[in-house]
């Protein structure tokens, strides 16, 4: 009697913030198990590497629904030992085995200190590989085609995969970098700037961030998040016992109230609630629930600070609590969560009321 063959496995490469590899893989496997049981053996997780690999049988992963993954790539080939004097030949050989053409070639490295030392190499290597692929007709100008990703964990190995432009991040290494504005009072402004770019397309930004809108910034000082709203012409009530700094100290669009953000309530509904307070995720989630249930805001972007252990469990509990309360209140909504590049031990959440 012939033994049953195991179905071929699909390996997925996910980039993440260094230190969150286990959370990234755990979340991806959980998403896969919601479709059917995962029968594959899980590849080893390398701590502080900035990436994780999961092996699945037939399940597909949805990048949009993954919180800790910066990028989602279908992994086709691993070159474990690249020769130092000729890295081009084995890479071209591996790519030759892949079907079809590619809309772009992205050479990437981990977001780690060691990874940054490889950036000079990838800049030199990119045009060489690109030229060969163009000669072969493998790189037509078509953004609808899969992207070819060559990921170098180190100088001696390469992971070769493809990215679906409709199911992945549209930025190299999955990082939507932001420039620090000279007038912004703190680097926290980059978190809200990135969140706006990640969670809203251009048309939605135009519609939801209009001049003349109103907002409340809880835990505002020194004003990094308030600055992002004010520069768009939005009037902000900044709530914090600490001082607002720089141009925001006396800005005509800013009303600074020295109060506890957890106790403040607005006199009337505002368009936006933003919140970057250092507190347990459960407490911040409860605050957001109350604001939406009471009808005090229409849209929100907020951060959930994660504990050192059981981060995924704490995040699930906070987000599930919000979902349950809004469902009970009969509120139609859309919620997205992502650990952004400018985040640290936290996850940023976008929550907006929608029409039924």
Just list the catalytic residues: 305
Angle ∠(165,168,174) on CA atoms, nearest 5: 115
How far is residue 310 from each of residues 31, 37, 69, 234, 314, measured CA to CA in Å? 17, 23, 17, 37, 6
**Residue 333, beta-bridge partner list:** 353
7: tokens are: 């179905």
Tokens of 23: 């959370």
Question: How many other β-carbons are positioned within 10 Å of the β-carbon of residue 16?
Answer: 27
Triad 319, 321, 323: Cα angle to 5°: 70
8 A C-beta contact, residue 185 and residue 119: no
User: 41-65 burial string, b = 16+ CB within 10 Å, else e?
Assistant: eeeebeeebbbbbbbbbebebebee
């Amino acid at each position: 009697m012939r033994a049953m063959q195991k179905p071929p496995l699909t390996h997925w490469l996910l980039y993440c913030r260094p230190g969150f590899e286990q959370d990234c893989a755990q979340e991806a496997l959980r998403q896969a198990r919601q479709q059917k049981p995962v029968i594959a053996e899980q590849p080893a997780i390398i701590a502080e590497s900035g990436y994780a690999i999961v092996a699945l049988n037939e399940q597909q992963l949805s990048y949009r629904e993954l919180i800790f993954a910066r990028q989602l790539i279908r992994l086709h080939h691993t070159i474990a030992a690249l020769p130092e004097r000729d890295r081009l030949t084995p890479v071209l050989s591996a790519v030759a085995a892949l079907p079809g053409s590619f809309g772009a070639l992205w050479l990437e490295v981990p977001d780690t200190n060691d990874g940054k030392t490889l950036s000079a190499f990838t800049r030199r290597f990119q045009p060489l590989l690109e030229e060969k692929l163009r000669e072969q007709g493998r790189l037509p100008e078509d953004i609808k085609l899969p992207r070819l990703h060559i990921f170098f964990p180190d100088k001696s190995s390469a992971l070769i995969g493809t990215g679906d432009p409709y199911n992945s991040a549209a930025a190299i290494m999955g990082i939507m970098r932001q420039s620090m504005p000279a007038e912004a009072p703190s680097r926290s402004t980059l978190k809200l700037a990135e969140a706006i770019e990640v969670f809203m397309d251009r048309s939605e930004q135009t519609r939801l961030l209009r001049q003349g809108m109103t907002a409340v910034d809880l835990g505002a000082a020194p004003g990094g998040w308030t600055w992002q709203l004010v520069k768009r012409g939005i009037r902000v009530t900044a709530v914090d016992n600490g001082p607002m700094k720089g141009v925001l100290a006396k800005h005509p669009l800013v009303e600074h109230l020295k109060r506890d953000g957890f106790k403040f309530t607005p006199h009337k509904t505002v368009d936006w609630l933003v919140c970057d307070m250092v507190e347990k995720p459960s407490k911040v989630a409860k605050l957001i629930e109350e604001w939406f249930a009471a009808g005090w805001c229409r849209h929100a972007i907020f951060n959930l600070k994660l504990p050192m252990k059981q981060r995924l469990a704490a995040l699930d509990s906070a987000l599930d609590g919000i979902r349950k309360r809004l469902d009970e209140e009969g509120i139609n909504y859309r919620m997205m969560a992502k650990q952004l590049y400018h985040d640290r031990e936290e996850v940023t959440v976008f929550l907006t009321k929608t029409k039924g």
